[in-house]
A and B are shown apart, each in its own frame.
Chain A
Amino acid sequence: MNYQTQEFGYRRSGDQDAQTPVHHAAVIVGAGPVGLALAIDLAQRGQRVLVLDDDFRLSTGSRAICFAKRTLEIFDTLGIGDRAVEKGVSWNLGKVFHRNELLYQFNLLPEPAHKRPAFINLQQYYVEGFLNERARELPNIELRWKNRVANIENGASGVTLTIETPDGEYHIIADYCVACDGSRSPIRKLIGEESKGQTFKDRFLIADVKMSAPFPTERWFWFDPPFHPNQSVLLHKQPDDVWRIDFQLGWDVDPEEEKKPERVIPRVKALLGQDTEFSLEWVSVYTFACSRMRTFRFGRLLFAGDSAHGVSPFGARGANSGIQDANNLGWKLDAVLRGAAGDTLIDSYCEEREFAADENIMNSTRSTDFITPKSEVSRLFRDAALSLAKDHPFARRIVNSGRLSLPSAYLDSSLNTMDEDAFEGGVKPGAPALDAPIGRGDVNTWFVSELPSDFATTTLTATQMIECRHANGDIYASYRASPEWIARYNAKPGTTYLFRPDHHVAARWRAYDVKKINKAILRAQGH
């Protein structure tokens, strides 16, 4: 399937002939990775979801390529984890070079015994293609292409959307509307809000190059390499023999000129060697910014993904954090729509994901400030660190070529129940579940993949079994614990973890206690 050329036809919907605007519980604007992920999550929970997109194609060009372990675990819950990992290029190792020399390497998953690798590289159009195919398997998702949201009225009892289509305008009303309409978010503009932050005065040429090359599947980052002096370069492998190369260009270049093949090809040849054969798949020039909206919630209108926050790509935190937004919002919106939780549960989406956005912005701002020093003195210290790094191990830790996406732990979330028992490590309330091997009968499986999509508790027994219960206390499964699982959860017989529907820990105790569990579940539902 060529996801780059796939087109989706416009189909007239019955809503367009209705006398009064048709009512929908959940409307998602934007069928990018975030909108699609949220739609699938909600639909799998039984909600009817309407997705509107102004386009009729998937992502043009590759854009995001690095998808992190936590995202892959979320993809598992959405039913596309295996496809993504099979197609993607798995990697754990990064290497950083200064001029011609290897400064250091880092392993993003230094411990074995996790189902998913630290990262896969996969073109964004594959991710969107897989999500879109999964969405189409779910009868309660309706996807309307060439439906552009042109106006919005954010009312107290519902959001009224004006939608433009090839055959005219129509209106619908949504109980909740989630704007996943990307970094330029027209909806954000329509309500007079902005995403505020910092733009970095630098330009990057992003080239996807097709070739068969002997480079290993590692992330290679050069500061000041001989083939592109005074600037940085990033090289990364994607599936289908496609390689991503980022060339830092500096501020004073003409982006239109730099996109021309006659400018791009010599740069690529300087890196690969004059005789290497390759073809250009996709070329673009970017300026990056880090920004976010002051809040992700305006009554019944919510923002998720790039519309809500933006980061520079060093660290691969854009799509990865957007998928986590969807993972956080899905179960909450579902609980509110079902009446299982009050509307205030959605406030915790803001609380947790605004915190996560700040963390991601902090990390990618720091990386970008290192890669693109803002001042002479900043460059002086940057170069000093690079120079010292070869012989001084500490300085390698200062060198920052991107701190790669890790999931946020909502340690201060109001949904958490604080530890009252003593733990030495383990997984803290607010942190996402840690994976580890477990066994069921003769079958070896993985802890995170086996977690259900609702609240659940796990209790270690005296015989090293993990007893899993639904919120109502019914046991639904019993697994053999592995030494890795026991160590990662700092588990002793009796140790009980309460997981939220998004697999973050809500609470933990040293003994199973129904009353405490029920109280913690209520708290995690925002009651």
Chain B
Amino acid sequence: MLLNIEPNMKDFDAFYEALIESHRELTTEQSHEMNAKLVLLLANHIGSIDILRDAMRRARVDTVGAGLTALESEN
């Protein structure tokens, strides 16, 4: 099974609002820390290394472009 990239939530606006709200009044450093924790919490919930690898690959490609993805060649 691969990462679901089709819409999978009822209310995206509510989610987005909650996400931004959860970082309210945090310093950038605290936000980074919180995001790291979010990644770990959600990763455990997803529980499938294949899906997580697919998500990491997509996030990386989106960040640095397909040409620079060392991850891709490994997997």
Contact = CB atoms under 8 A, between A and B. Distances in A.
B44 A384 contact: no
Contacts of A392: 41
A398 B37 CA distance: 12
Contacts of B44: 394-395
Contacts of A388: 37, 40-41
B33 interface: yes
A224 to B, nearest CB: 15
Nearest to A392: B41
A370 to B, nearest CB: 13
7 contacts: A380-B33, A380-B36, A384-B37, A387-B37, A388-B37, A388-B41, A392-B41
Interface string A369-386: 000000000001101110
Contacts of A383: 33, 36
A470 to B, nearest CB: 45
Nearest to A379: B36
5 closest cross-chain pairs (CB), A and B: A384-B36, A394-B44, A384-B37, A380-B36, A381-B36
Interface residues of A, number: 11
Contacts of A387: 33, 37
A392 B40 CA distance: 11
Contacts of A398: 40
Interface in A386-404: 387-388, 392, 394-395, 398
B23 interface: no
Interface residues of B, number: 8
Nearest to B47: A394
A383 B39 CA distance: 13
Interface string A475-506: 00000000000000000000000000000000
Contacts of A384: 33, 36-37, 39-40
Interface of A: 380-381, 383-385, 387-388, 392, 394-395, 398
Given A381-B39, A384-B36, A392-B41, 8 more contacts: A383-B33, A384-B33, A384-B37, A384-B39, A385-B40, A387-B33, A388-B41, A394-B44
Contacts of A380: 32-33, 36
Interface in B15-52: 32-33, 36-37, 39-41, 44
A195 B37 CA distance: 37
Nearest to B34: A384
Nearest to A397: B44
Contacts of A381: 36, 39-40
Contacts of A395: 40, 44
Nearest to A395: B40
A53 to B, nearest CB: 42
A203 B16 CA distance: 44
A398 B40 CA distance: 9
Contacts of B33: 380, 383-384, 387
Contacts of B40: 381, 384-385, 388, 395, 398
A99 to B, nearest CB: 16
A392 B32 CA distance: 19
B75 to A, nearest CB: 15
A395 B38 CA distance: 12
A9 to B, nearest CB: 54
A292 to B, nearest CB: 19
A283 to B, nearest CB: 36
Nearest to A384: B36
B23 to A, nearest CB: 15
B26 to A, nearest CB: 14
A392 B44 CA distance: 10
Nearest to B32: A380
A14 to B, nearest CB: 56
A368 to B, nearest CB: 19
A387 B36 CA distance: 11
Query: By CB atoms of chain B within 10 A, which of A380, A383, A395 has the most?
Result: A380
A387 B34 CA distance: 11
A362 to B, nearest CB: 13
